[in-house]
Structures are given as C-alpha cells and as structure tokens.
C-alpha cells in the first residue's frame, strides 16, 4: 500500500534512515518501497552486494518478543500471519525488548528462525540519521527533499545512481584541451612540472590522464575566472573532503591516513594542477598541502603542476618548454581544424610554439581570416604590448583588476568614462578570445593578462576608486546588483562596516526581500557578509544588530528550490515573460545555470553545481531534458479525448506499475471531455460527484468500480484527490480555482499555513498556468516564499521556548499567545517540534502548568507529560497522571515492561506511589540499563525491574577529543575552568551538531559583570566561530532564544521591545503570525 508512504509514518522514518545509509556509506545498491512481491515482507526491498533483503515495518504498541512465532515460512505478529520471503527477512519494531545476539546490515538484532528482529525508536532513528550527516547537514535536507520528490511522483524504487550527486569540485576547464605528449622524467614518486603562464599545463593534464590509463585522480585549484567554488577549492580541508568523496564515493569523514592508504590501495597517480594559486591566494594553508604531498609521495606517484613558487621545495622538478612544431600542428589540427602547411608554419614561427600565444593567434585568424603582421614574440608580455597600443588602453583594461569575479557588460559604462568604456567594449569585440563570456558576464580568460597589467604599473587608482564607490553606494542603497559579488571588490574597512551595519538590520532585510527575483544572490551575499565579519571589530555592531543578523542568517539558510529543474525552468520563463533579463540574475548557482542552459543549450553550469562521479554527464542531461520536457508538455496530455478502446486497455492493465496513475488520467479525461464515452458513466459520475462536493458518494462509487478491477478500494480518495488537483492545475473548475481567481500575493496569503513542500508545487502550478494562458501576474509577490519556514528540519525555532517566556516576563506578550504559536509550529512542521511545548513549560514555575490547564484541554496539547521535571509533575492533577500512564501502559501492554527513562521523573515526584501501585497492579517491570546507578533507587522503592544490556551502538568521544574538534557542552564544560577560557572563547565553540550558543548555561561559570562587559565580544565570536573538524561556520539555529537568555540571565541592559520587534519580523518573514491573546475559556478538562 504505497500510499502509506505519502505522509510521515514510522515506515517513512525507517525508509529515510536506509536511504541515508545508501547515500552516506554507499554499501546499498537499491531500495524499493512497497515492493510488488508474493509475500508480506514487502514494505521495503533492499539490495546490497548481490544480496536481497525484505523488510516488514511495524508501528505496533504493546508487543512482546515472546509473542512472535515463526512457523512454516510465516511469522505471526499480534495473531496475524505474514508470509516470509525466500531471501533475508528483516522485521523492524519501534519498541520491542530483547537482547541482541547478532547483527544485520550493521543493526543489532535478535534472530528467530529466518527472521532478523530490529528495535529502533523514532528518536533513535533520528539520532542515527543526524550522526550520518554530522559533517554535512545541508546534504541531509537534500536527501529528505529527494525522497519527498520520489514519493510525490510515485517513484518507489531508488537506486544508488539515482541519488542526488555528491558535490565534488569540477575539474573540467572552460577551454577545450588537446593531449600533448611530453617526455616525463621517471624515477621518483614525485615530480613538479613547472612552467611559465600559458605554457600549456592544462593541455598536459589531458596527456597525463591518458598516459596513466585514466588511473589517476585530478585536483585543480583553478578552472575558470567565473568559478563559484574558486576560494573554497584553495582550502586544505575542502581539498581533503573532495579527495575523500572521490576515493570512497561516500559522505563519511576520512582521516589523512585513510585517504593516503586508499590512494595507495587503488594504485592511482595523483595529479594536482595549480599549486601556485594556493601560495598566491591562500598562503596560510600552503604548509598543510606540502606536508600532505610529502606524506603522499612516499607510496604514490604524485605530479604537481605549478608556476614557479616562492616557497622552496625539495621535490624533483621538470621545467616545461614551448611546443615544438609537431605539437603545435596537432593542436591547430584538432582544436581549430587548420591543416594548411603555410598557415601552421606562420603561426608556429610567430609564437615560437608558446601554447597560449598559439591559441590567441589561431583565434584571431578564425575571427579575421588573416594572420597579424607581427614579429616573433619573445614573451607573452610582448604580445600584450602589441595589441594594447597605449597607456590609456591599459588604464581602461585595468577595470578587470578592480574585481576578482565577472563584470556585467552593462557595468563597463557604469564604471568607466565614455572614452574608456568605448575602448573596452571594442577591445572585447576585437579580441574575444582574451575573455570568458557567459551571456552578459565578462571576465579575463587567462590571469596572465592581469599579471601583465599589474607589472605595467599603470595608474588605475581613479578607476579603482570609481568602482569601489559605485559598488559601495549601490550596496548601501539596498540595490541588488553587486550583492552576490560583495567579496569580489576591495572595499575599505569603514565601507565594509557601514555595509554590514545596514544589512544587519532585519527591518532593512524585510525591505530588501520585497521584490526579490534572485534569492540565491541574497543567500550568497549574507554568506560572504558573515565570512568577512572577522575583518571588523566586535564593537562595530551593537546587540540588536547581532541579534538581527543571526535571525537573517537563519532565514537565508532556508533552501526550498535547489535541484528542482522543473521549477527553475518555469520560473525563468515567467521572469522572461514579465520583462526580466539576465541583468536581474546575479548569482552563479541553479538560477543562472538554468538561465544559461535555456539561452545556450549548455548545461555545464548546472552540471558543475550538482554533479558527481556517479552522476555522469549523459545521465545528467537525460534527466534534465526529461524534467523540462514534462514541464513543457504539461498541457498536451488532454488535447484529444481517449478512445473507449484505449480506456479499456488502461483499465485492464492492472499489473502496470503506473495503474493507479492511469485510472486518474482516465478520470481527468472523462471529466474534461464529458458525454463523449457513454460506456463509462460510473467513472464519469464518480469524478463529477467529487468535484461537486459529494466526496463520500464519489469515493463509494469509484471504490466499487475499482474493486471489480481488483484495485484496493481505499485508494479511491487518493485517486480522486489527485484528479481534482490536476484539473485545477489545467485551469479547469473556474468557480473554485484559486490559481485563476487570486493574485499570487493573495494566493500565498490564503495558503500560508501550508508546508513549504506543498507550497512550492502550488507556486509552480500557478506560474505554469499563467504562462499557458498568457496572463500577466504579480510575479514579484513570490518573494514571500523565499523566506518561509522550511517544513522539515528547520531548526531556527528550537529556542523559541526561551524567547517567548522572556518576552512574557518583560510584559510584552501573554503566555496564551506563546502556547498558541507553539501549537501552530507543531502543526505545520512535518516532523513536529515535539519537545517544544515541554521545553516552554520548563521556562516557567511549576504552577504555570495549572494556569495553562485552565485554558487548554490537556488532551489537545502535544506534550509528553512525564518528560517534565519532578517538581512540575508534582502539581499535575491526578487525571493527567492517569491519562499519561494509561497511554504508556497501553503502549507496552504486550511485553509488560516500561523503560526507566519514560518514568524516572515520576518516580522522583509525589506521584511515585501512584506509579508503584499501577506497576504492581499491572505487573509491569521497569527496564533499566545494568550499569545505571538509578538501579539503587528502584531497589530502595522495591520496584520490580529487569536489567537491559548497555547499548554500545553509539560511543562518544572523550572530553578532550570533543574540545579539540571545537565542541564544548555540558559533557565537557569542566574544561572551561581547567583551560581558563574567557566567555568569548566559549562562544566560538559549538555543540555536537555544529550549533553555536546551543547551551547558554555554559556562561553561568562566569561572573555576570564579566558577561555584561564583554557581551559584544561574545556575540561577535559566536557568529564567526567555526567547528574545527569541518572548518565550517557554526550554525546559528539557537540564537533567536538563546541570545535573549544570555542577556536576561546576566542582566545586560538592552531594550527588549526593540528585540521583540525583530523577533516579530522574523516570524512574519517565516510566514507565521503571533496570535492575539485568546479569549478565556472555561476549564474543559
């Protein structure tokens, strides 16, 4: 019953966990949900290394292990028989007590006959998945989205090769290359191939890859002047992560020794291209690279390609020279299809086989049809001297020294006076081969021209000042043009401080988000803004600015759209239809990649953004074309009515994997082309009744028909719901179609309570229909969606319990508003903030529980009452105690055992005697780990218990190891005093999940006065702190409440009304409203 997966069930959780294992560890080959097989272990079919495993997933309460009976190829569960498969059978329960005696797929299990029993609670599954993605939580969101998309599209089989690509740095160059053979010195394991700029190192790499029969691993520090990953490529930790992914094809964290051992084991040659880029642009990491290469070359052949370095190296070196005539001929033949002897001779004579000059002269010949009348060039600089005829030309071209990224063509006239602007534009037209152009984006093709301009000592200070002034004024006015390129310009410290202060205001951010076309540019900008904070001083921002900035960072980390080709395709068509151009797109990721593809039919930018070695180019382009083809032909499905013969064929093909979808398609067709197929009146009546609002009657009619076709009748509601959605998407049902009748602004406002997974589909449908009908819409109203709360694993609300209670203490809001808001959050979040209400209650005195219960029915609240501390349980009315314990006893009724963690707080409260009586009466036992010191409590209270072996599946690091990884929490907080840490140093650390300020209690070890005096330093270092193990800025998920907690606990003078307004703006941008205080209702308990 595959519809069971379309919703977040325990079965879905297990499937998510197995999918995560397949993604991270890459040991599983495929996973199929609700497999069509001849037995009952069909919830999940998993293949791994030639073995097949069938899973049955049971979300059953109160089940005893002893009640499981395996006999005659069947297992009996709760009195119901389940036919086993002939392969390996795995049975998952969320809570069944047993002592493991073996493992299956790495899970501790108990084996009964041919069945492996696994017990994992929802919380344990979440812990496992979190641990798998501990070094890349963004990947976790991507996999969640991948599974949701599969289920939405009724794709139930997922193979390893279908997974979203592992993000590795691309090694493809913008410039095509030719294999040029060079005699390589043999003998030693390491060789540095050193050459002047443009000597053909990149062409040589192609030869080296073939020479080693493609048994090589290539890493490039440079591929393009418009490479969005350029700065990340230079960082040593990213270098290691990239090698790790290439070698192990997984997302595990591997040590340097493991990486080197794997390279040696695979017997490959390592080729590293462009080490000079590290020395020039990230010198702090150069020594780490040298040490790694020194260690690597002891067992592995290693080739380094580089320009001459300042750093002295002891490695064997070979200097590269120009091409000879035959090599020059080969390049001109293969790349330019030149085969005339005289032409090749002229080019060779003019260039002396200098590779980059060969390219320049060949490109110039292709453009103009003649070879320029130049003397033989002694150097590359002489060529540049020849084509850049005067000082004014150099000054004009020095524009490209003013930015480390691309410049839009329209910006040339923005930065330069008319004469200089004219010169640059004409120079670009005359010498296009000197530039890399992507639509309206221009950058220099080769950095040798940058070096030439710098060496010429041209005075371009006026141009630089003009560029920086234009960029600064643009940014300070809130203009979006340069935001995604903020770090590409050399702005001064005072300018950066002013920009950071302006953009740290959440009110300014709200204005900025009013009409955003390119949200990826906003995301890139704030990422760059945060990364440049270390250039500022802690006192450059005040407390409100730090708080606002943390809220903004949480918002811009929400990613609803990445990898959704169909959405980007339709969105870009809508943008173009409404007059937007590439000038309005300034980011360099999915949006520009899709725009570039639609304009040029070149998908390389999309591929570079989302590809990996398992996701080859052919597969990528096929999937891309399929996605876009489906979107482009959406309205063609029902251009002509189905014949009765075709309808019968589809109905009778009950074994088809897509039979349910076929039934929906038939119903859509019968509704659209009414009264044309009289032999299908029953189906026509069913869909008509459903559309008219009589849903139950429609379901009954369709169920009766489907049962005759041997399709489970309960699917009728799903089928009819899908049919109505499709008809609305096609623009039918005008009287009830909000896609037609509401503006986009009103549409999003009406459905703001929908989750983000549903809303993006609705927006796509809205845009697609408007395009189809050639209707102009308020397209920029889409901006409110970019900042919406992300439906799954958006942790930015985790500390709301503290924020809300503090605002209550300050008299700004009422507690009823807080409880209602928390209820809304729990409702819309896909997996729910299940502990949020209990956390919120703990922020109040125990008596608050009674106050709350006067206004809310305890049965309507999402809370585990026994998770509250003992003094809170003390004040609970007995009816709530009985309600809570009855649920627990009911849950465990089959095995008669309750875990100690579930009731430990009750045993330490005034309800202990009630619990003891209930345990005695029900003959329940307490299950407790045999090494838990609380056993003495049970013994003293004469409570019957059973010892459970300690679960050693999860072993933690030592205190010092956690500290060295950049982790500091209550498990190792004694190190604060031991290591004499200052409060701002504590702020740089994260918890075990890379979150800063996750435990404000750590700051209680300092005097309040010290916190007050250094609060700016604390917030500053919390924002710039990085987790050492992954060299990534810590997340700010807990800042919305925990900053307020630190301020409040330490009596820091601050205007809480101002902070509250920021908090309300954050809620508004997340598409939540703080409710008005509800009317007081009589006690309903």
175-179, 675-679, 955-959: which has the minimum mean pLDDT? 175-179
For the segment 858-888, what is each residue's pLDDT rounded down to a tens digit?
888 888 899 999 999 999 999 999 999 998 8
Higher pLDDT, residue 1033 or 148: 1033
Q: What is the mean pLDDT of the chain?
A: 87
∠ CA 606-276-463, nearest 5°, is 75
For the segment 619-666, what is each residue's pLDDT rounded down to a tens digit?
567 778 888 999 999 999 899 999 999 998 888 877 666 778 888 999
For 923, counting Cβ atoms within 10 Å of its Cβ (0-12 exposed, 13-18 middle, 19+ buried), the class is: exposed
| Residue 868 φ then ψ, to 5° | -70, 150
pLDDT mean over 780-806: 91
208-212, 335-339, 362-366, 1072-1076: which has the minimum mean pLDDT? 208-212
Contact of 398 with 460, CB cutoff 8 Å: yes
Contact of 678 with 687, CB cutoff 8 Å: no
Distance CA 914, CA 882 (A): 9
Contact of 374 with 395, CB cutoff 8 Å: no
Residue 673 pLDDT: 93
pLDDT mean over 984-1009: 93
Exposure class string for 856-872: b at 16+ Cβ within 10 A, else e? bebeebbbebbbbebeb
| DSSP classification of residue 268 | -
Distance CA 945, CA 904 (A): 13
For the segment 592-623, what is each residue's pLDDT rounded down to a tens digit?
999 999 998 888 788 777 643 333 344 567 77
3-state secondary structure of 408: strand
Contact of 1031 with 237, CB cutoff 8 Å: yes
Q: Residue 96 pLDDT > 50, yes or no?
A: yes
- pLDDT category at 177 given cuts 50, 70, 90 is low
Residue 873 pLDDT: 96
209-223, 963-977, 1013-1027: which has the minimum mean pLDDT? 209-223
Residue 80 pLDDT: 84
Pairing verdict, β 88-93 and 30-33: unpaired
pLDDT mean over 56-81: 85
pLDDT mean over 333-343: 86
For the segment 457-504, what is each residue's pLDDT rounded down to a tens digit?
888 999 999 999 999 999 999 999 999 999 999 999 999 999 999 999
Q: What is the 3-state secondary structure of 449-502? A: HHHHHHHCCCCCHHHHHHHHHHHHHHHHCCCCCCHHHHHHCCCCHHHHHHHHHH
Residue 864 pLDDT: 85
Residue 1078 pLDDT: 58
Distance CA 157, CA 32 (A): 4
Residue 302, beta-bridge partner list: 190, 270
Higher pLDDT, residue 1009 or 371: 1009
Residue 206: its H or E element: helix 201-211
What stretches of 638-736 show up as alpha helix (H) in DSSP?
A: 644-652, 659-672, 681-692, 695-708, 716-729
Pairing verdict, β 30-33 and 44-48: antiparallel
Residue 728 pLDDT: 97
- pLDDT category at 831 given cuts 50, 70, 90 is low
Q: Where in the chain is the domain with CATH 3.40.50.300?
A: 190-319
- CATH homologous superfamily of 190-319 equals P-loop containing nucleotide triphosphate hydrolases (3.40.50.300)
pLDDT mean over 731-744: 96
Count CB neighbours of 497 within 10 A. Answer: 16
Contact of 31 with 158, CB cutoff 8 Å: yes
Residue 610 pLDDT: 62
Closest by CA position to 722, among listed 730, 757, 624? 730
Distance CA 993, CA 982 (A): 22
For the segment 227-243, what is each residue's pLDDT rounded down to a tens digit?
767 777 888 888 888 88
pLDDT mean over 704-714: 70
- pLDDT category at 171 given cuts 50, 70, 90 is very low
Distance CA 474, CA 693 (A): 54
Residue 175 pLDDT: 53
Distance CA 520, CA 429 (A): 31
Residue 892 pLDDT: 81
Contact of 296 with 302, CB cutoff 8 Å: yes
Residue 795 pLDDT: 87
Residue 293: its H or E element: helix 286-296
How far separated are the first and last CA of the chain, in Å rounded? 38
Residue 704 pLDDT: 87
Residue 214 pLDDT: 62
Residue 977 pLDDT: 93
For the segment 414-426, what is each residue's pLDDT rounded down to a tens digit?
999 999 999 999 9
pLDDT mean over 255-275: 87
Closest by CA position to 803, among listed 488, 1066, 507? 1066
- pLDDT category at 137 given cuts 50, 70, 90 is low
Residue 182 pLDDT: 57
- pLDDT category at 17 given cuts 50, 70, 90 is very high
Residue 623 pLDDT: 79
- The set of residues, in sequence order, having a beta carbon less than 8 Å from that of 355 and lying 6+ positions away, is 198, 199, 200, 203, 322, 323, 331
Residue 186 pLDDT: 60
Closest by CA position to 225, among listed 380, 394, 404? 404
Instruction: Beginning with the edge strand found earlier in the chain, give each strand of the sheet holding 69-71 in spatial order.
Output: 69-71, 74-77, 80-83
Q: What is the pTM of this model?
A: 0.79
């Amino acid at each position: 019953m595959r519809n069971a997966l379309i919703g977040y069930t325990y079965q879905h959780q297990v499937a998510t966990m197995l999918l995560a294992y397949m993604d991270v560890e890459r040991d599983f080959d495929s996973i199929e949900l609700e497999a069509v097989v001849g037995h009952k272990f069909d919830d999940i079919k998993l293949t791994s290394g030639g073995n097949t495993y069938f899973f049955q997933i049971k979300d059953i309460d109160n089940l005893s292990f002893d009640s499981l009976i395996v006999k005659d190829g069947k297992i009996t569960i709760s009195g119901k028989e389940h036919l086993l498969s002939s392969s390996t059978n795995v049975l998952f329960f969320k809570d069944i007590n047993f002592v493991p005696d073996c493992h299956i797929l790495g899970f501790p299990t108990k084996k009964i006959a041919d069945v492996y029993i696994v017990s994992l609670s929802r919380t344990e599954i979440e812990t496992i998945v979190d641990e798998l993605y501990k070094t890349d939580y963004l990947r976790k969101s991507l996999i969640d989205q991948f599974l949701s998309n599969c289920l939405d599209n009724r794709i139930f089989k997922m193979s390893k090769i279908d997974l979203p690509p592992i993000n590795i740095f691309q090694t493809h160059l913008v410039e095509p290359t030719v294999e040029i053979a060079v005699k390589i010195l043999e003998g030693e394991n390491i060789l540095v191939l050193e050459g002047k700029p443009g000597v053909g190192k990149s062409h040589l790499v192609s030869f080296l890859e073939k020479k080693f029969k493609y048994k090589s691993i290539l890493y490039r520090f440079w591929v393009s002047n418009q490479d969005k990953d350029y700065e990340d490529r230079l960082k040593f930790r990213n270098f290691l992560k990239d090698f790790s992914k290439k070698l192990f094809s997984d997302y595990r964290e591997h040590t340097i020794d493991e990486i080197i051992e794997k390279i040696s084991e695979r017997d490959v040659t390592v080729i590293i291209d462009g080490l000079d880029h590290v020395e020039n642009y990230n010198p702090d990491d150069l020594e780490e690279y040298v040490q790694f290469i020194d260690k690597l070359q002891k067992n592995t052949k290693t080739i380094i390609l580089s320009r001459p370095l300042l750093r002295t190296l002891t490695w064997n070196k070979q200097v590269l020279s120009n091409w000879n005539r035959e090599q020059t001929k080969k390049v001109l033949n293969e790349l330019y299809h030149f085969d005339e002897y005289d032409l090749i001779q002229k080019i060779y004579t003019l260039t002396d086989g200098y590779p980059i000059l060969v390219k320049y002269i060949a490109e110039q010949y292709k453009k103009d049809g003649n070879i320029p009348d130049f003397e033989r060039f002694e150097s590359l600089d002489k060529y540049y001297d020849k084509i850049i005829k005067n000082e004014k030309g150099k000054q004009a071209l020095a524009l490209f020294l003013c930015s480390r990224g691309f410049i839009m063509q329209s910006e040339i006239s923005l930065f330069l006076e008319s004469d200089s602007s004219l010169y640059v534009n004409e120079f670009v037209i005359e010498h296009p081969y000197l530039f890399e152009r992507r639509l309206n984006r221009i950058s220099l093709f080769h950095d040798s021209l940058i070096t030439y301009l710098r060496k010429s000592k041209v005075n371009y200070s006026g141009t630089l000042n003009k560029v920086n002034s234009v960029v600064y004024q643009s940014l300070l006015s809130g203009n979006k043009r340069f935001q995604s390129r903020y770090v590409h310009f050399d702005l001064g410290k005072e300018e950066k401080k002013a920009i950071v202060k302006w953009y740290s205001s959440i009110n300014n951010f709200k204005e900025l988000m009013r009409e955003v076309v390119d949200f990826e540019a906003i995301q890139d900008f704030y990422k760059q803004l945060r990364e440049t904070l270390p250039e500022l001083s802690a006192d450059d921002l005040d407390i409100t600015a730090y708080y606002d900035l943390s809220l903004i960072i949480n918002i811009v980390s929400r990613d609803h759209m990445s990898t959704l080709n169909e959405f980007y395709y339709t969105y870009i068509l809508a943008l173009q239809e409404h007059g937007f151009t590439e000038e309005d797109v300034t980011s360099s990721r999915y949006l520009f990649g899709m725009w570039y593809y639609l304009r040029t039919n070149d998908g390389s930018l999309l591929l570079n953004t989302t590809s990996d070695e398992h996701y080859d180019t052919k597969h990528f382009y096929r999937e891309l074309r399929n996605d876009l083809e489906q979107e482009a032909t959406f309205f063609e499905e029902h251009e002509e009515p189905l014949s009765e013969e075709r309808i019968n064929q589809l109905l009778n093909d009950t074994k088809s994997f897509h039979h349910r979808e076929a039934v929906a398609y038939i119903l859509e067709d019968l509704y659209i082309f009414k009264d044309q197929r009289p032999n299908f009146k029953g189906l026509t009546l069913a869909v008509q009744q459903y559309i008219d609002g009589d849903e139950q009657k429609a379901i009954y009619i369709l169920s009766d028909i489907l049962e005759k076709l041997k399709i489970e009748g309960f699917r009728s509601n799903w089928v009819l719901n899908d049919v109505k959605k499709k008809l609305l998407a096609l623009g039918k049902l005008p009287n009830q179609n909000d896609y037609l009748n509401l503006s986009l602004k009103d549409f999003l406002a009406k459905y703001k309570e929908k989750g983000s997974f549903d809303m993006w589909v609705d927006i796509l449908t809205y845009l697609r229909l408007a395009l189809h009908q050639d209707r102009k819409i308020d397209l920029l109203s889409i901006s409110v969606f970019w900042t919406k709360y992300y439906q799954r694993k958006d942790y930015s609300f985790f500390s709301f319990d503290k924020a809300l209670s503090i605002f209550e203490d300050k008299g700004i809001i009422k507690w009823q508003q807080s409880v209602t808001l928390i209820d809304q959050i729990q409702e819309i979040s896909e997996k729910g903030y299940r502990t949020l209400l209990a956390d919120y209650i703990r922020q109040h005195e125990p008596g608050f529980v009674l106050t709350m219960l006067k206004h809310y029915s305890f049965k309507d609240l999402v809370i585990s009452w026994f998770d509250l501390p003992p003094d809170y349980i003390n004040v609970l009315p007995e009816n709530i105690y009985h309600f809570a314990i009855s649920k627990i006893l009911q849950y465990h009724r089959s095995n008669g055992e309750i875990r100690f963690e579930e009731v430990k707080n009750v045993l330490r409260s005034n309800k202990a005697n009630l619990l003891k009586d209930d345990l005695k009466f029900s003959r329940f036992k307490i299950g407790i780990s045999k090494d838990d010191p609380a056993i003495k409590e049970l013994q003293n209270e004469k409570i019957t218990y059973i010892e459970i072996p300690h679960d050693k599946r999860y072993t933690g690091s030592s205190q010092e190891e956690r500290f060295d990884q950049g982790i500091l929490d209550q498990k190792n907080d004694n190190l604060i005093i031991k290591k004499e840490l200052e409060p701002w140093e504590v702020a740089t650390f994260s918890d075990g999940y890379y979150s800063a300020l996750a435990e404000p209690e750590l700051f209680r070890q300092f005097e309040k006065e010290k916190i007050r005096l250094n609060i700016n330093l604390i917030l500053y270092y919390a924002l710039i702190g990085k987790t050492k193990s992954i060299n990534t800025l810590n997340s700010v998920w807990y800042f919305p409440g925990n900053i307020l907690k630190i301020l409040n606990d330490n009596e820091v003078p601050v205007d809480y009304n101002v902070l509250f307004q920021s908090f309300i703006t954050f809620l508004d941008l997340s598409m939540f409203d703080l409710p008005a205080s509800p009317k007081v209702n009589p006690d309903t308990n």
